[in-house]
A = this chain, B = another copy of it.
Amino acid sequence: MSTWNGVPYVSQKVMDKRTRTAQRRRESLSRERIIEASIEILDSDGEVGLTFRALSDRLTTGPGAIYWHIDNKSELLTAACDAIIACTVDVPVVGMPPEAVIRALALSLFDTIDAHPWIGSALTRSPGQMPVVRILERIGQQIRALHVADEEEWPAVCALLNYIVGVGRQNAANAQFTRARDLDRSAFLGSVARTWSQLDRKDYPFTIDSADRLQLHDDRADFLAGINLFLRGLRLSA
C-alpha cells in the first residue's frame, strides 16, 4: 500500500471495505491504528522504544501485518510526526498581526516538540515532505502578509523554518541525552555547567562565563528571543 505523505491515503472504496470487514480482527488493523499506537509508544518510551516488535505486541499481531499497511519505519515516523504537526499548526489566526501569529506558531511548535521530543528528529528526516510543508506554508503566509521585499521573502521563510526546527531538534536531543542518563533537566544542565567551568579560561572565556547562565536559562524564552531577533531584522529591511 503506497501513499503520498499526508494526503488522504485510502480511497473511499477501500475505506468502505475495511469498515465492513471489521470482524476479521476484533479491531481491524489499519494505518490509523498503527500510527496511533506508534505515537503512544514514542511518547512513553522515546524513539528507541518504537520497534516493530513492541509495535506488533501492542497491536497483538506480527510484523508482517504491519508491513502490509506501512512501507517502512521511516515512513511510519514521518506519518506519526505529521499527525501531530497537523494539529499543532492549527493555531488561531483571527485578526492577529502577522508577527504575533508567527510568534504564536513558533511557540506552539516549540511546546509540541518539547512534549513529543521524537518529533524533532522526524521533522529533519523527511525534507520537503508533508510535516515540514505544513509549517512552511503557515510561516510563508505570514511573511507574505508582512510585505517583505520580494527577494527577501524566501530566505526569510527558510531561515525561520530552519531556526524553529533546529531549536526543536536540539531540545529533543537534550531531552534524549538526559533521559538516556536517567537525569532530570537540572541535573543535566548541572553536569554540563560543571564541565564547562573546568575548561581553560585562556581558550574558553565565554563558555566559562556562560556556565552559570546555562543553569538559569529558560529554553522557551531563549527560543522566543531568537524569533524576535529575526522579526526585528525583517522589520528593519521592510
Residues in A lying within 8 Å of B, measured CB to CB: 4, 124-128, 133, 136-137, 140-141, 144, 152, 154-159, 162-163, 165-167, 169-170, 173-174, 177, 192, 195-196, 199, 203-207, 210, 213, 217, 221-222, 225-226, 228-237
Contacts and interface: CB of A to CB of B under 8 A. Distances in A.
Given A133-B207, A137-B207, A162 B167 contact: yes
A166 B192 CA distance: 21
Contacts of A233: 228-234, 236
Contact of A222 (B155, B206, B225): B155
B133 A226 contact: no
A101 to B, nearest CB: 13
A38 to B, nearest CB: 21
Given A137-B206, A167-B162, A156 B229 contact: yes
Nearest to A159: B226
Given A166-B166, A233-B229, A124 B155 contact: no
B174 A170 contact: no
15 contacts: A125-B173, A127-B170, A127-B177, A133-B199, A140-B207, A144-B206, A154-B213, A154-B217, A156-B226, A156-B229, A159-B163, A162-B166, A166-B170, A229-B229, A229-B230
Contacts of A231: 233
